Amino acid sequence: MRDTVVMTARQHTGRRRNEAARQAILDSAVNLLRSYDAAAVSVDAIAQDAGVSKQTIYRWWPSKGAVLLEALLDRARVIAPTPDTGDLEADLRLFLINTFEGVADSRPVLLGVLREALVDTDAMTLLAKFAAHRRAALMQIVAQARQRGESLEKTTAALVVDQAFGLLWYRLIFGNATLHKRTATKLARVAVIQLRA
Amino acid sequence: MRDTVVMTARQHTGRRRNEAARQAILDSAVNLLRSYDAAAVSVDAIAQDAGVSKQTIYRWWPSKGAVLLEALLDRARVIAPTPDTGDLEADLRLFLINTFEGVADSRPVLLGVLREALVDTDAMTLLAKFAAHRRAALMQIVAQARQRGESLEKTTAALVVDQAFGLLWYRLIFGNATLHKRTATKLARVAVIQLRA
Amino acid sequence: MRDTVVMTARQHTGRRRNEAARQAILDSAVNLLRSYDAAAVSVDAIAQDAGVSKQTIYRWWPSKGAVLLEALLDRARVIAPTPDTGDLEADLRLFLINTFEGVADSRPVLLGVLREALVDTDAMTLLAKFAAHRRAALMQIVAQARQRGESLEKTTAALVVDQAFGLLWYRLIFGNATLHKRTATKLARVAVIQLRA
Amino acid sequence: MRDTVVMTARQHTGRRRNEAARQAILDSAVNLLRSYDAAAVSVDAIAQDAGVSKQTIYRWWPSKGAVLLEALLDRARVIAPTPDTGDLEADLRLFLINTFEGVADSRPVLLGVLREALVDTDAMTLLAKFAAHRRAALMQIVAQARQRGESLEKTTAALVVDQAFGLLWYRLIFGNATLHKRTATKLARVAVIQLRA
DNA sequence: TGTTAAACGAGACGGTACGTCTAGTCTTGCG
DNA sequence: CGCAAGACTAGACGTACCGTCTCGTTTAACA
């Protein structure tokens, strides 16, 4: 679809994996998740849009969910780095602002991945791993503060982390409120209050 | 009928909706969601398990998601009442404990509903409405405290509410931590701290 | 449908069968068979069009096919009388002309009945009985000639009769040629030749 | 070979149609039509009996009727060849005997096809085409005689042909008389009389 | 320079579920 | 009891999608 006009068709790469095809697949996955109403993202559609055979998809990914997840990660500004400014609230604020921003325009992708994960156990495993990874990143910020001498309870930290990502997912799913920079700022502030209480 | 002069809303004639069938359908929906691997909850399966024709399901619900959602609500010990003890933290604690308890053994049902909602727009509308209703109940607790004279910011309240339900859904989805009574207690405590800060 | 504007609704007749309802049902059956694409003649449609409950249909007829068949017979100019002019060819000609004429604008009805008969054994029994009746009428013409002294073989007569009605149904079904008055005339002529050979 | 010629058409890629599946489907269609009460020939039943997915049927045929028709043709001992013995009556006799024989044990199949054709327009189109083909074959026999110098009217020929096939279908449908070899012989004789009259 | 084997496109296949449609039965309350 | 309204069971219909399975082609790497 995208290729019809300009490109002279992807080259075969013979025995080696065709990186262009991989990219085209991930692009198509994201595009379809974004453009259509979420439900309409079938593997056939991805394959067709990417100008790729369905088999090529299933050669490299075990399921649709896995494709979507990799598409998410590949694209993911979602993945905010762990800052270390020496100030707990500042670190939290930066992390959350980055995360919220990255997530904002990936909403359909994230929800698509979640949907698939709720259907397919394997996909859920992958997504859960990703979520764990993100929690670890946020925990790391608290750990840094603890290493600087602050006395912060570990149980509380776990709660705060889940509250933060919970807020994120909750609003992504239900769309009841936005995930602005201001929200992130406020969230960082109250998180610090909780942690130090 | 056509002859009668003043029509005060047509009398119901014809066979009435079979309430037993309705209950059987909702029961089966819940049972299947609970017992099997989530994916196996097909409309055919529900119909068969309920000893009902598929048509009877589609006569009363627009889609599978709608059935699951109603099953959820129907059963919902999920739906905790809004307590009013005169103490903010106590109210929050009670509400959250009840909510967590109700949710605990409904996990497969809730995730099934969520899955369907992510596929089916109508189902999502319904689920979102339900979620809004629950948020309102929690907000009500804060409003009660405000009426007792406490000065609590509304924006913060909204954030705290979404954090609480966010935590709930996040842990339901990813299963990374449980939703104990202790968690609810702790959550209530930190929520109060946030609100009063 | 027909009734909405003018009629003031059929009266209930209490314990006795409502003849108006019977007529309305047969009318609707024929109308629907004629107007729509044959396939759309459901019992619900007939009931609705006749302003009648489905149960009323099934109270008096065993199946849809039976309704259609009775509708056919009721309406049936199809049912040509057995003429007796004293001349074999003239009798045949008259009978066939009448039959063809009656059949011409009942094509959708006849095909509808046939369709139903091919699905429903009971309906087929009824239709076969009707067909036998019609064959008997045509045989009667030959019998009359025989009584006038003509020597006509019975086996041949049976063949000629089936050829005539066969032609009729064949052309009704496949629509490959029309059933004009001229066709009837010609058919009568060749039939006589066959019979006297 | 196919390769030697200049190929303008696109090369076939992809998995090729499974001929065994096609055969199995047609076999099952015929078997079910024969064995069960006509009505029980559902697409699901055919698919199951053939060990084939329903989608595979719908991939290749537009409707159930189309499958049944092809099953009929595929099997068709129905399709008698056009003989050319140099004698009109002999040719007719041979053709009709063959046709009757072929038709005899295909009765359920033929009626099944007819039933479907009366429901489904596409199927009717196919069946009508088949019928036209058969009429042409019979007409051919008359044409041969005309070429040998016999003066046979064309209009009469058309009538005779429709009478013959009409007889065939009429008796198939109503089962009022059999389609013996003797019937065919007699039919050929009277047909010749008609044609030469 | 061939030969081999992985990667690829196309696309058929089995399976499972969806939501729709009918036939025929059953139930309720009015007349 | 006849009737209108209309819910109910049973089961077929045709569609959509998943993940698997050929085919025949392309090309990197090896012989």
Residue A124 vs residues A130, B192, D159: alpha-carbon distances, Å: 10, 34, 72
pTM (two decimals): 0.85
CA of C54 to C1' of F5 (A): 9
CA of residue B195 relative to chain centroid, distance: 25
CA of B15 to C1' of E26 (A): 8
Chain mean pLDDT for chain C: 87
Spell out which residues of D between 121 and 180 contact strand F, using CB within 7 Å: none
Contact yes or no for C40/C32 (Cβ under 8 A): yes
Query: What is the structure's pLDDT at A36?
Result: 64
* Chain C hits for B2, Cβ within 8 Å: 8-9
Alpha-carbon span D79 to D135, nearest angstrom? 11
Q: What does the pLDDT average to over A160-167?
A: 97
Question: Is the predicted pLDDT of residue C7 greater than 60, yes or no?
Answer: no
* Chain C hits for D128, Cβ within 8 Å: 174-176
Contact yes or no for D121/D69 (Cβ under 8 A): no
Spell out which residues of A between 19 and 58 contact strand E, using CB within 7 Å: 21-22, 51-56
Question: Is the predicted pLDDT of residue D176 greater than 50, yes or no?
Answer: yes
Spell out which residues of B between 150 and 189 contact strand E, using CB within 7 Å: none
Question: Is the predicted pLDDT of residue A164 greater than 90, yes or no?
Answer: yes
Q: Looking at per-residue confidence, does C11 or C60 come out higher?
A: C60
Query: What is the structure's pLDDT at D2?
Result: 36
D162 touches C: beta carbon within 8 Å: yes
Q: What does the pLDDT average to over C134-160?
A: 94
Q: What does the pLDDT average to over B28-50?
A: 87
Q: Please compute, for residue D131, the number of CA atoms within 13 A of its CA located in the half-sphere on the CB side.
A: 25
Helix axes A107-119, B107-119, angle to 10 degrees: 130
A185 touches B: beta carbon within 8 Å: no
Q: Single out the residue of B82, B64, B197 nearest to residue B133, CA to CA.
A: B82
What sign does the CA torsion over C113, C116, C121, C123 have?
negative
What is the per-residue pLDDT across B140-156, written as a single tens digit (0 to 9) for each?
999 999 999 999 999 99
DSSP string, D99-129: HHHHHHTTHHHHHHHHHHHHH-HHHHHHHHH
What is the per-residue pLDDT across B74-117, written as a single tens digit (0 to 9) for each?
877 557 789 999 999 999 999 999 999 988 888 888 999 999 99
Alpha-carbon span B124 to B102, nearest angstrom? 21
C39 touches B: beta carbon within 8 Å: no
C180 touches D: beta carbon within 8 Å: no
Query: What is the structure's pLDDT at B10?
Result: 55
Q: Residue B151 class from Cβ within 10 Å (0-12 exposed, 13-18 middle, 19+ buried)? A: exposed
Pairs of CB atoms within 8 A across B/C: 5
Helix and strand numbers (H, E) in chain C are 9, 0
Q: Please compute, for residue A134, the number of CA atoms within 13 A of its CA located in the half-sphere on the CB side.
A: 30
What is the per-residue pLDDT across C32-74, written as a single tens digit (0 to 9) for each?
988 766 667 899 999 999 999 999 999 999 999 999 999 988 8
Query: What is the structure's pLDDT at D182?
Result: 94
Query: What is the structure's pLDDT at C98?
Result: 93
Report DSSP state, residue B17.
Answer: P
Contact yes or no for B166/A197 (Cβ under 8 A): no
Query: What is the structure's pLDDT at D22?
Result: 95
Backbone angles phi, psi at D118, to 5 degrees: -75, -15
Chain mean pLDDT for chain B: 89
Q: Looking at per-residue confidence, does B167 or A104 come out higher?
A: B167
What is the per-residue pLDDT across D21-71, written as a single tens digit (0 to 9) for each?
999 999 999 999 887 666 678 999 999 999 999 999 999 999 999 999 999
B172 touches A: beta carbon within 8 Å: no
Find and list the nucleotides of strand F having atoms within 7 Å of a protein beta carbon. 1-29
CA of D53 to C1' of F19 (A): 14
What is the per-residue pLDDT across A120-133, written as a single tens digit (0 to 9) for each?
888 999 999 999 99
Do chains A and C touch by CB distance (3+ pairs < 8 Å)?
Answer: no
